[in-house]
Structure 1
Amino acid sequence: MRKLLLLFLFTGIAATAQKNLTLQQATSGKYQEFAPKSLVSPLWRKDDRAITYMSDNYASLMQRSEAANWAETTLVTKTELAAAMKAKFPDDAFMLQIFPYNYQWKDKGTLQLEVSGKNKMYLVLFDADKKEVKNAIAISADAKNQVLSPDGSTVAWLNDNNIMLSGKSDKTVTNDIDKGIVNGSDYTHRQEFGINKGMWWSPDSGKLLYYRKDETMVADYPLIQWDSRIAETKNIKYPMAGMKSEEVTLVAYDVASGNKVTLKTEGPKEQFLTCVTWSPDSKYVFVGVLNREQNHLKLNKYDAATGNFIKTLFEEKATTYVEPLHDFTFVPGHSDQFLYRTEKEGYEQLYLYTTEGKQLKKLGYLNVVIQDFLGFDASGKNAFYIGATNNGLDRQLYKVDLGSGKTIAVTTANGTHNTIVSTDGGLVLDSYSSITTPNRVSITDLKSKKVTEILNAEDPYKGKTVLPKMELVTVTAADGKTPLNGRLIYPANFDANKKYPVMVYVYGGPHAQLVTNEWLCGAGLFDYYMAQQGYVVFTLDNRGSDARGRDFEHVVHRNLGVNEMADQMKGVDFLKSKSFVDADRIGVYGWSFGGFMTTSLMLDHGDVFKVGVAGGPVCDWKYYEVMYGERYMDMPQENPEGYAGNSVISKAAKLKGRLLVIHGAQDPVVVQQNSMEFIQACIAAGKQVDYFLYPTHEHNVRGKDRVHLNQKIEEYFDTYLKK
């Protein structure tokens, strides 16, 4: 009887045993099955103390209001929205799969939405309380980059490379037949310099400002399409470092008259136009004019009616590079004052300027690096922003008094605070996570200090799988003084008396940070999956990466890879100091800049790294594009030593270990020529290298094929490192 009882108990344990992650879960589970519970698309209603967000099934827009003591109610359902659209447009069909998650609050009671019909798209102004359509403008279902005018009457949208207007004014703004002339595109300057739009309505809705990009002089670059009986060529415009770049202007279109005025942004034709901002009175346009060398920025003012240059407000120069990333933000009630973000004094922070170019106040706080500007309070006297602190690990909410410059930290708990502030500045919705907290959402009344908890997410892995132990570590950089943030994930069922192989996951380039004080420490689930397979998984944010200030990043200038590798090798020294690390079985994996780093480490430190997987790698920076490449490396003709020194193609003969190079055949970012030239150099040097191509993918392998990618990476490490 006792044996039967024991058999029953062990059988029950086996039935409920937690399993390792599957490859599918490791690929997409972080954002699906294992995503901590949260509020989806939360927004404060304008001029109201109520928060809205999506329901769990995306079928409704939910609301919590102070008046209802923050209880959850349903505000609008997709069924109600579809019925209201059908009443307005009875000849169309509206089968909404979900409630539009990219909604905005136009005012206190009006939602701005995009709703798809059977053959058209509609930009809709919807009365959320009356459940009726106030106004809707139909545009082509193939429309791109649609922008609604401030008064809600007209939509500007792109028909391929031309701008159309629909609504109160149905007009064709541009009609360029040559595809080399691109109007209104957010892909101007390849979306560097913070560019995320290509059209700007004036505040009075009377004018539309847009980019006109002439890339007819840029060389065609062929991408071979493999899906036809005879392969075809798709040409893209790809301005390589040191070669001819695009020429861009800004055009102001007067909706009433149809007149166009080109801003007289005089200077070299290949300069960059950034920080595009209308004045509140719609009379002027402010533009950041950056030279191609990217070391001299002029913040200029232009007359929108004539296009004439008025004055340069101020300038920024650097011995390395100047990188403008944000438009001006005008102060409410002060049409002659704006906030400007710059790292000119070491850390990206806020500065208060007049429209005459006078700096009124530096609003920076300690060494906090601003990440997101959140807006002002009702008086316009205080501004809110999210800043990176604690050596870049944490994200905190700050409030700064524009008059005195006094700054206070609104949130203080170590970790990552993702916050939004009500339009009156009195309430804060805080979504907080850390390495020990999946997600905790609360509303804080800044005046009374009352905190109302909305949700406290449970560990989404509990009862499903046991994630390996992870810890934050600190490594001193190769300069002997700078602390670097690292993440160490231990193998599953860790035994300190054993020795384990290591997978170093690396990126290492500007504008990226892999180690943060948030849930999972910023890691992807594939890292934890590999730890479950018996690997030590290590990641280090070297100098050159994000959120640590100007000097921390700018060490890369003219020598990409040099200081980054030196720091990564300090990480290797840290690993070797651990008794459980097998120093003879260290591998490295990275993508894009991380692919460049992986290949560089395999070649320059072949005695250390036995296996590498390099995805989409830059192999010679002369094959990369102008805007990013020349910022960090200057032109090849200006910096031949730097280009020669970090080219992995010229180092192919140094390869010792097993290296797998992976590339997307349709990659328009790091073109395949990079890896093909490297493979040819390996052949010439008599070096064996493995190569795998994803014929239909661009720079990243997305969708279901990413499971295939992760399986290939795992199998490569298992074959050549784990045994």
Structure 2
Amino acid sequence: MKKLLFLFLLLSSNAFAQRNLNIEETVFGPRTYAVQNLLSTAWIPESNTFTYLDATYQNLMQRSATSSWKEEVLISKADLEKILKEKFSGKEISLRIFPYDYNWLDKQTIKFTVETEESTYYVHYATDTKTISNFIEATNKGTNQELTSDYSKVAYLVGQNISIVDKQGQVTEVTSDTIDGIVNGSDYTHRQEFGINKGMWWNEQNDKLVYYRKDETMVTNYPLIQWEERVATVKNVRYPMAGMKSEEVTLVIYDTKTKQKITLQTGEPKEQYLTAVNWDPSGEFIYVGVLNREQNHLKLNQYAAKDGSFVKTLFEEKSTTWVEPQHPLVFSPKNKNEFIYQSDRDGFNQLYLFNTDGKLLKSLGFEQTVVSDFIGFTAKGESVLYSGVTNNGLDRQLFEVNLKTAKTKQLTKDSGTHSAKLNTTGTYILDQYSNLTTPNNIQVLDVKKGTSTEILKAGNPFVGKINNPKIEFVELQSADGVTPLTGRIIYPSDFDPNKTYPVMYYLYGGSHSQLVTNRWLGGAGYFDIYMAQQGYIVFSMDNRGTDARGKAFASATHRQLGQAEMQDQLKGIDFLKSKSFVDQSKMGIFGWSFGGFMTTSFMVHHPDIFKVAVAGGPVIDWKYYEVMYGERYMDTPQENPEGYKLTSLEDKADKLKGRLLIIHGAQDPVVVQQNSMQFIQGAIKAGKQVDYFLYPSHEHNVSGKERVHMYQKIADYFGDALRGKL
């Protein structure tokens, strides 16, 4: 009997035994061990009720913030699918899940999209009558689809040209350019810098479309070799390298009533950036942020829609480093002659209230809080909501600022990363947050009472399955002694402070990035966790030049990328070396893209620190990088020859000591392969050995099963070098 009991206990303990991640889970683990959540939450307008998808994604649920009942089905996927099939008889309508992109238009209407093999349907569904109240169909052959607010028209791209389809299915070809290098309406204008995520904009009257017309015929063709054919072919992409000829962009208005086109008179020089494009609510004007190629002088200009003429400059913004418009104007629903402008002009990315005469009405900034996301206006248009960065860049909290008084309130309190939504009546906040030790909490906050009601408290998805990683934040000081820096350390599963461990130092360090944040797992990736479970101390830190800490913090790297960044990262290295459990003779470094540049920089500028390194898609010399990003931070090679020489790595391979693996996507249109090839050539000349690996069909990032292959290669490379095999 005792033997049987022992066997039962042994089998039971094994059934619940935890293990380390496997290599496949470094890529697919976030889906396998997803934190419990409510998907697609939204407040129903003019109510205290919110909606979300259930755990199966089959039903749209609703729950009141004020009543005791828990939840009920508002509409099921099955019922919606039946209604759609009846409306679009003869069409193959099949929903895998309830449309997760739904949004409330008013208290009785949601909008969403439905895709079939041939078409995309943009649909309004009335929840009171359970009918399709409005819709329009567009062909799936068209990309970059832009829909009018009244669902009367859809503009889309076919190749390099724009077409418009109306509700009757009539198609109008807006452009018909056939010259290679002339592209209309594309979001890939100015290489999607300056916050550009679309290339076409409808006015509020739904009768005029303004779009980018990009002329890149003068930009150098860059060859990408295609390997899938018997005889390899060449795919050319337009790639303007720093200091070379850039694209010329104009903005064109198309009038759907008269079929006429008008080009905005944005003037000379032709090599300038047209950013922050907005229609005036009246439809009479268009606002454009015109930024010079040097990226240090912005003019917010107003143009007349009737003839494209320049009307006036509302205001200008200048900097000794750079001006980087990232957001369009947001007009006040209460006063159509006032708008919110977002800028770091005073040192921190904050909000400003202007009128259309260009007068600054209010500075809406709060202390040194950085605005991370503009959320919107309250129901009456009296206040603005935004997500702001606090806690030395670690946290994201919800703030409300009154437009009249500029008085600011912080609406969320718990330390962590919040994603919060205020209902239209301003009475309740649906608050979702996580932090280093909290996987996910969702609660409803009563604005007036200050009380909270818990909706969901997610458990740790690793418990009972995967060894839970021990992760800590560390605070260090920047090399200039001015700013605190935050790092993240992940310990091996069987960590013993009396033993020593090898190190994987993972870094990025470039602009608009942040590796360490106060959210679940501290922002760590699953490969970081995997390597820690394999017995490594895994460390990351955000240096000067990264995001969420203000303009001075970001611009410390100007004209000499990699230098201040390395000085700060050396503080992290010193921190690790001060720990008795770190084996200083077995330290490795890994980074991708800008992180690949940083990794390679460390291996030639500080060659005695790391025994092994993996640099993915690395920039080797900024003269090989594109104009828009490269010149913002480095200026042109002609203007800054000393900076380009200092930061270039192609002539420094002779300093290399440790083992270096460079990985590159052979189809990379972002950091072209010429970068890594130049370093390889330099290593050959210097008699240095470098390992090199290409992913033939991948661009800048390696994805899918090939990413599993890549992580296995990196793990093996670290293991061989730091465990005595190399």
Instruction: Give matches, 1:469-484, under 5 Å.
Output: 469-484=470-485
TM-score, normalization by structure 1: 0.97
Instruction: Give matches, 1:42-441, under 5 Å.
Output: 42-66=41-65, 69=68, 71-168=70-167, 170-441=171-442
Quick check: 2:189–2:199 contact (8 Å CA) kept in 1? yes
How far apart in 2 are the matches of 1:131 and 1:603? 66
Counterpart AA for 1:148: L
Aligned to 1:584: 585
How far apart in 1 are the matches of 2:383 and 2:83? 40
* Aligned pairs, number: 722
Percent sequence identity is: 57
Quick check: 1:377–1:426 contact (8 Å CA) kept in 2? no
How far apart in 2 are the matches of 1:705 and 1:128? 45
How far apart in 1 are the matches of 2:9 and 2:112? 56
Counterpart AA for 2:287: F
The answer for unaligned runs of 5 or more in structure 2 is none
Taking a change above 3 Å as real, the CA distance of residues 124 and 11 of structure 1, as seen in their structure-2 partners, is closer
How far apart in 2 are the matches of 1:67 and 1:537? 46
How far apart in 1 are the matches of 2:184 and 2:513? 30
How far apart in 1 are the matches of 2:33 and 2:211? 42
Deviation at 1:611, TM superposition (A): 0.5
For residues 119-175 of structure 1, the C-alpha deviation after alignment (integer angstroms, 9 at most, x for no partner) is 222222222333322222222122211111112211111112111111246311111
How far apart in 2 are the matches of 1:460 and 1:5? 30
How far apart in 2 are the matches of 1:121 and 1:161? 20
Taking a change above 3 Å as real, the CA distance of residues 403 and 457 of structure 1, as seen in their structure-2 partners, is same
Quick check: 2:136–2:151 contact (8 Å CA) kept in 1? no
Classify the secondary structure of the residue corresponding to 1:94.
coil
How far apart in 2 are the matches of 1:70 and 1:691? 61
Aligned to 1:23: 23
Classify the secondary structure of the residue corresponding to 2:79.
helix
Deviation at 1:454, TM superposition (A): 1.3
Quick check: 1:544–1:555 contact (8 Å CA) kept in 2? yes
Taking a change above 3 Å as real, the CA distance of residues 300 and 369 of structure 1, as seen in their structure-2 partners, is same
Quick check: 1:80–1:131 contact (8 Å CA) kept in 2? no
Quick check: 1:213–1:246 contact (8 Å CA) kept in 2? yes
Deviation at 1:224, TM superposition (A): 1.0
How far apart in 2 are the matches of 1:46 and 1:282? 27
Quick check: 1:376–1:425 contact (8 Å CA) kept in 2? no
Counterpart AA for 2:236: N
Quick check: 1:342–1:348 contact (8 Å CA) kept in 2? yes
Counterpart AA for 2:60: L
For residues 395-447 of structure 1, the C-alpha deviation after alignment (integer angstroms, 9 at most, x for no partner) is 00001011111101101111111112223333211111111111000122313
Higher mean C-alpha displacement, 567-576 vs 57-66: 57-66
Aligned to 1:693: 694
Taking a change above 3 Å as real, the CA distance of residues 77 and 178 of structure 1, as seen in their structure-2 partners, is farther
Aligned to 1:661: 662
The answer for unaligned runs of 5 or more in structure 1 is none
Quick check: 1:374–1:421 contact (8 Å CA) kept in 2? no
How far apart in 1 are the matches of 2:461 and 2:652? 46
Aligned to 1:673: 674
Quick check: 2:27–2:704 contact (8 Å CA) kept in 1? no
How far apart in 2 are the matches of 1:81 and 1:336? 41
Classify the secondary structure of the residue corresponding to 1:529.
helix
Quick check: 2:509–2:594 contact (8 Å CA) kept in 1? yes
How far apart in 2 are the matches of 1:47 and 1:285? 32
How far apart in 2 are the matches of 1:160 and 1:279? 29
Classify the secondary structure of the residue corresponding to 1:23.
coil
How far apart in 1 are the matches of 2:49 and 2:311? 43
Deviation at 1:282, TM superposition (A): 1.0
For residues 83-140 of structure 1, the C-alpha deviation after alignment (integer angstroms, 9 at most, x for no partner) is 2222222121112222222222233322222212242222222223333222222221
Taking a change above 3 Å as real, the CA distance of residues 3 and 45 of structure 1, as seen in their structure-2 partners, is closer
Aligned to 1:39: 38
Quick check: 2:386–2:400 contact (8 Å CA) kept in 1? yes
Aligned to 2:648: 647
Deviation at 1:675, TM superposition (A): 0.8
CA RMSD in angstroms, aligned pairs only: 1.5
Classify the secondary structure of the residue corresponding to 1:266.
coil
Quick check: 2:122–2:151 contact (8 Å CA) kept in 1? no
Classify the secondary structure of the residue corresponding to 1:439.
strand
Higher mean C-alpha displacement, 52-61 vs 507-516: 52-61
For residues 178-224 of structure 1, the C-alpha deviation after alignment (integer angstroms, 9 at most, x for no partner) is 24111111111111001111111101112111111111111111111
Counterpart AA for 1:13: S
Quick check: 2:503–2:536 contact (8 Å CA) kept in 1? yes
Quick check: 2:65–2:428 contact (8 Å CA) kept in 1? no
Quick check: 1:94–1:118 contact (8 Å CA) kept in 2? no
For residues 480-502 of structure 1, the C-alpha deviation after alignment (integer angstroms, 9 at most, x for no partner) is 23210000111121111111100
Taking a change above 3 Å as real, the CA distance of residues 178 and 85 of structure 1, as seen in their structure-2 partners, is farther
Counterpart AA for 2:93: F
TM-score, normalization by structure 2: 0.97
Taking a change above 3 Å as real, the CA distance of residues 584 and 302 of structure 1, as seen in their structure-2 partners, is same
Classify the secondary structure of the residue corresponding to 2:438.
coil
How far apart in 2 are the matches of 1:60 and 1:156? 31
How far apart in 1 are the matches of 2:428 and 2:201? 30
How far apart in 2 are the matches of 1:72 and 1:247? 54
Classify the secondary structure of the residue corresponding to 2:57.
coil
Quick check: 1:295–1:318 contact (8 Å CA) kept in 2? yes
Deviation at 1:538, TM superposition (A): 0.3
How far apart in 2 are the matches of 1:496 and 1:371? 38
Deviation at 1:3, TM superposition (A): 6.5
How far apart in 2 are the matches of 1:468 and 1:173? 56
Instruction: Give matches, 1:588-667, under 5 Å.
Output: 588-667=589-668
Pair 1:528 & 2:526 matched: no
Deviation at 1:6, TM superposition (A): 4.8
Higher mean C-alpha displacement, 116-125 vs 693-702: 116-125
How far apart in 2 are the matches of 1:35 and 1:519? 11
How far apart in 1 are the matches of 2:424 and 2:281? 19
Deviation at 1:10, TM superposition (A): 4.1
Deviation at 1:70, TM superposition (A): 6.2
Quick check: 2:331–2:340 contact (8 Å CA) kept in 1? yes
How far apart in 2 are the matches of 1:99 and 1:208? 31
Taking a change above 3 Å as real, the CA distance of residues 92 and 554 of structure 1, as seen in their structure-2 partners, is same
Deviation at 1:11, TM superposition (A): 4.8
